[in-house]
A and B are shown apart, each in its own frame.
Chain A
Amino acid sequence: MAKKRNKNFWLKIDWLSIILYLTLIILGWINIYAAVYKEEYNVIFDTSQRYGKQMIWILLSFLIIAFILIVDSKVFPMFAYIAYTITFFLLIAVLLFGDASHGAKSWFEIGNYKIQPAEFAKFTTALALSSFMSKHNFDLTKTNNIFLIIAILISPALLIMLQPDTGSAIIYVAFVIVLYREGLNGSVLLLLMLVITLFILALKINLSYLFIGLIVLAFITYYFIRRNPKELFIALGILIGVFALLYVANLFVLNIKLPIIIGIALFISLCFFFYYAYKKRLFNILIIALILISSIFYIFSVDYIYNSILQTHHKTRIDVFLGIQDDPHGIGYNVNQSKIAIGSGRLYGKGFLNGTQTKYNFVPEQDTDFIFCTVGEEWGFVGTTSILVIFLILLLRVIYVSERQRSRFSRIYGYTVASILFFHFAVNVGMVLGLMPVIGIPLPFFSYGGSSLWSFTILLFILIKLDTNREEVI
């Protein structure tokens, strides 16, 4: 019996995931070696060098894997809250006793080594969320539950924010993907995207155009819901009429800016529409009008905060990211140099250890957050695309594995793994390619750093362990 179970166990392990995992950490190590490499100094196993240290982290993570595969799967849901609580207190402790290197209190220093609790908070939060959402009578539509979920996610995020390490805090947004899979209303996601899109547009586009665009969009939506041209024309007439009145008045008496006139005109005419919609019981229209008016308010406040409250260095950071301002020597330096490194790789790259950008250390943080540009420079388009494809296969495999779980806990946990990995992957690569803001988060399995390597290893291998019991309810 025991022998049979044993045999089953090895068969049930998802070897594809493990192969992908091993491929990534080995490629990662090779690129760290290249990023740190010095011609005069090339002893491979030297623990004073970062590639030497990373080798130790990799070997130690094999021990962690062995331990995870040995323990009983039931341990994970059982100890989910305990692990969550421990990391919660660790996050508080690091604020009190942590080592403030690089301007953030993120590290515990033990001898020569540093441990970053925020990395471990990722999988403990994942466990706690899975445990909570797989409760017997869990219902995502209950306000109670939603608040508790928000509490579970926001507590570690806030503590990390206090370090301050915005990059590690922002990844908790990734859990939205899990919630979506578990039945969160799609419109919540749409709303979230609307908020982000409007934020960017408010800073990038002339407010008048943005308002007109939004109004046109609202009217089109309105038309498709009601299909009543007469109503549409009346509504348009009211809006344009009010606007024209205000505009003429402005010429003579008032002296306010065009976007504000549009805003006021819209507000006044919306009062008519509200009254009309309310009388005719047209709640869809009410919602459209509400979204429109709150969008306008939101845009105004973004504009105000940006222009009157934010300090210059925050502004430049946002400006550079949004491409409003080009600054290749200041804040944009990293991104610009990283684009140069990747771009100069061409199709096949310059070859292992031949990257000039890498050699001359033009790109800061090249072995950690900007490791992907080493791939780009030395292995070219072929290399970068291969890495992206390996990541994509792993992500899709994690979804596939999650979906085949009988136990809700395992499935939800599987999605947290997919979400966290995806978020890191998308933000890190996007940042290196200049498509995302410069948020300092590591590329999973690739970037130098023991804490993040272990954290991602634990995250993934708990799922692989749970997967060996996929037919059971745990």
Chain B
Amino acid sequence: MAQDVNSNRQFIIGGFFVLVTIIYVIRLFALQITETKYQISAENNARRHVTEYPARGLIFDRNGELLVYNQAQYDLMIVPKQTKEFDTLELCEILGTNIETLKNNINKARKYSLYKPSIVFKQISALRYAELQEKLYKFQGFFIQTHSTRIYKQDIASHFLGYVGEVNRKKLDEDAYYKAGDYVGISGIEKAYEKILRGKKGLSIFLVDVHNRVKGSYKEGKYDTSEVVGSDIYTTIDVELQKYGEKLMQNKRGSIVAIEPATGEVLALISSPYYAPNLLTGNKRSQNYLALASSEDKPLFNRALMAFYPPGSTLKPIQALIGMQEGVITSESVFPCNGGFSIGTHVVGCHHVGNIGLIHSIAGSCNSYYCGVFTKILHNDIYPTSEDAYQNWRSYLHSFGLGVKLKSDLGHELSGILYPSNYFNKYYGRGRWGPFTIISLSIGQGELGFTPIQIANMVSVIANRGYYIIPHSVRRIGGQAEINEKFKEKHYVNIEQKYFEPVITGMQTVLEFGTAGGLALPNITICGKTGTAQNPHGTDHSIFVAFAPKNEPKIAISVYVENGGYGSTWAAPIATLMIEKYLSDSISKPWLEQKMIQGNLMNN
């Protein structure tokens, strides 16, 4: 084998093999003999993380009456990776479910994560819980998670309070605080004050043995965090008023919003049809939710914040205020009304005779007067074009909170319909439209749409003689002295205080001898305004806005009754009943109350 000059390389190669093996043996010695941390790590691997759910904060009304509290609830959890073979049938019997559902839920959990816990069975009854607790050792990889479910003490104020539900996938991705199966506020106060109500979850780490039995706390609880109980919330709502309003609104579509003008606190928020908030708690929640969501009456729809209605004649006091501030009328101005306001062949109908002054125009809701006022506002010489005058008029409305979001904490608000001049430019052509083209706006009809809360807020401005505070739902947060600063700030409108008095006097006369004549109360001076929102689909909507008492008002209210006809027919009586209930706690006209409660307009 002469060619084999490299024969000695076999020893280099062999030596290399030996060297690598020696290095590995040394490494193994280090890992297995000298280093002890891995042994500890292996023990720690058998840890179970248990989340401690804090009690959710309670919710009270403005007088400290309890509205919402919690009740303990048990969920069966699974860590799919830790499960071993188990008796499915037995587990089904304990839980009172069928194999199909159980297997389905386990598969869902596996799909979500093999290592993270997820819920297999929700809201186990206390009786079944006791049995399950006893036999849990047979089901490795399962454990019970305790948390609480919401209970609504009275089945009222569903839209105001909102509801709590299981966190969805989107929220899970956005906010690392939430884990699958957690509960989160989905609407109303439950959503707006979620962070305050939920508190802070705690975490306990337990050591478990091969049979999944708890052996004690991990590192003496060094890494455990204790839960922080959610803070209680004292809302602005008056439970008696809310209950009364819901009673009045039964079998009617519509909305009532009552605000304390000086503070912007929402006293009542009713959207009808409503639902019982307890339907959306407990293990029938998703079933009930589906039924509510698919109901033709749309009980989940919050009309108070989201339904647009033309303001109708309720806008007239604002028109008068703008007219005076702009200097196109004075409190002494008169407009002739001879049964209407004619523009060419078109007539905006009215029913007065002779010259009408400001107070009478409000009392009698004179259309001709406001067609005249609006024409003057838009034909003001200060502005080069009607378009500029319109934009100015529009910004007045904005300052009243009309056509903009109020940024309240009540839920999902919509801004309403109040078009910029461009809309009319596009529709009619620039410079080719003026007061006569859009005359219906003068009496609150046509291209206008505001929500009940916006209109209630507008009344607050009149009641306050020039400003509003954003309507809000919370007076005090447990353990916290102050509420959000933005709910204290006064938003002034650009109208001098002196112009309010004639308008308010006009509104007072509405109930004395005006369109809602006969509804005035003996001890309380109410200032109001009727309105009728034209409804192309059926009977017009009945609207009434009011505040009382005239001096130092305590309540401002807007009432909408869909398909109720004139404002004086349904909305005005309901509004006066609400005011009387709130301010004197006794009803002077029981027959009127009965008529309102019994009225059924669902089929109109």
A254→B60 CA distance, assembly (Å): 70
A381→B512 CA distance, assembly (Å): 101
B290 CB to nearest A CB, Å: 39
Residues in A neighbouring B84, C-beta threshold 8 A: 38-40
Interchain CB contact under 8 A, B33 and A381:
yes
Is A346 located at the chain interface by the 8 A CB criterion?
yes
Closest A residue, CB atoms, query B37: A343
B21-35 CB mask vs A (1 if < 8 Å, else 0) is 101110111011101
Count of A residues near B, CB < 8 Å? Answer: 50
Q: Which of B13-48 contact A (CB under 8 A)?
A: 13-14, 17-18, 20-21, 23-25, 27-29, 31-33, 35, 37-39, 41-43, 45-46
Interchain CB contact under 8 A, B38 and A396:
no
Q: Which of A328-371 contact B (CB under 8 A)?
A: 337, 339-347, 356-357, 359-362
Residues in A neighbouring B82, C-beta threshold 8 A: 360
Q: Pick the contact of B45 from A181, A357, A380, A433 — CB < 8 Å?
A: A357
A125→B35 CA distance, assembly (Å): 42
Supposing A343-B37, A360-B81 touch, asked if A392 and B17 sit within 8 A by C-beta, the answer is yes
Q: Which of A406-428 contact B (CB under 8 A)?
A: 406, 408, 415, 418, 422, 426
Closest B residue, CB atoms, query A357: B42
A418→B12 CA distance, assembly (Å): 13
Interchain CB contact under 8 A, A396 and B17:
yes
Main secondary structure, interface of A, reads helix
Residues in A neighbouring B6, C-beta threshold 8 A: 181-183
Is B10 located at the chain interface by the 8 A CB criterion?
yes
A425 CB to nearest B CB, Å: 8
A183→B10 CA distance, assembly (Å): 11
Supposing A342-B28, A345-B32, A433-B24 touch, asked if A422 and B17 sit within 8 A by C-beta, the answer is yes
Is B594 located at the chain interface by the 8 A CB criterion?
no
Interchain CB contact under 8 A, B24 and A429:
yes
A341→B5 CA distance, assembly (Å): 47
Q: Which of the 9-residue segments A17-25, A307-315, A383-391 touches chain B?
A: A383-391
Residues in B neighbouring A418, C-beta threshold 8 A: 13, 17
Interchain CB contact under 8 A, A346 and B32:
yes
A347→B85 CA distance, assembly (Å): 32
A391 CB to nearest B CB, Å: 7
B252-286 CB mask vs A (1 if < 8 Å, else 0) is 00000000000000000000000000000000000
Supposing A343-B35, A426-B20 touch, asked if A38 and B7 sit within 8 A by C-beta, the answer is no
Interchain CB contact under 8 A, B46 and A356:
yes
Interchain CB contact under 8 A, B13 and A180:
yes
Interchain CB contact under 8 A, A392 and B38:
no
Is B9 located at the chain interface by the 8 A CB criterion?
yes
Interchain CB contact under 8 A, A343 and B17:
no
Residues in A neighbouring B46, C-beta threshold 8 A: 356, 360
Is B210 located at the chain interface by the 8 A CB criterion?
yes
Interchain CB contact under 8 A, A362 and B24:
no
Closest A residue, CB atoms, query B82: A360
Q: Which of B483-508 contact A (CB under 8 A)?
A: none
Is A237 located at the chain interface by the 8 A CB criterion?
no
Residues in A neighbouring B81, C-beta threshold 8 A: 360-361
Interchain CB contact under 8 A, A376 and B45:
no
Is A403 located at the chain interface by the 8 A CB criterion?
yes
Interchain CB contact under 8 A, B14 and A399:
yes
Interchain CB contact under 8 A, A343 and B5:
no
Supposing A344-B39, A395-B17 touch, asked if A403 and B10 sit within 8 A by C-beta, the answer is yes
A72→B487 CA distance, assembly (Å): 97
Interchain CB contact under 8 A, A433 and B31:
yes
A415→B6 CA distance, assembly (Å): 13
B214 CB to nearest A CB, Å: 16
A377→B28 CA distance, assembly (Å): 12
Residues in A neighbouring B85, C-beta threshold 8 A: 38, 40-41
Closest A residue, CB atoms, query B31: A343
Closest B residue, CB atoms, query A349: B32
A340-B41, A343-B41, A344-B41 known, 7 other contacts, Cβ within 8 Å: A38-B85, A340-B38, A360-B46, A380-B32, A384-B32, A415-B13, A430-B24
For this complex, 27 residue pairs linking A to B, each with C-beta atoms less than 8 Å apart, are A180-B12, A181-B10, A339-B31, A340-B41, A341-B42, A342-B32, A343-B31, A343-B32, A343-B38, A347-B33, A356-B46, A356-B210, A357-B42, A376-B31, A376-B32, A385-B28, A389-B21, A392-B17, A396-B17, A399-B10, A399-B14, A399-B17, A415-B13, A426-B20, A430-B24, A433-B28, A435-B23
Interface residues of chain A, those whose CB is within 8 Å of chain B, are: 38-41, 177, 180-183, 337, 339-347, 356-357, 359-362, 376-377, 380-381, 384-385, 388-389, 391-392, 395-396, 399, 402-403, 406, 408, 415, 418, 422, 426, 429-430, 433, 435
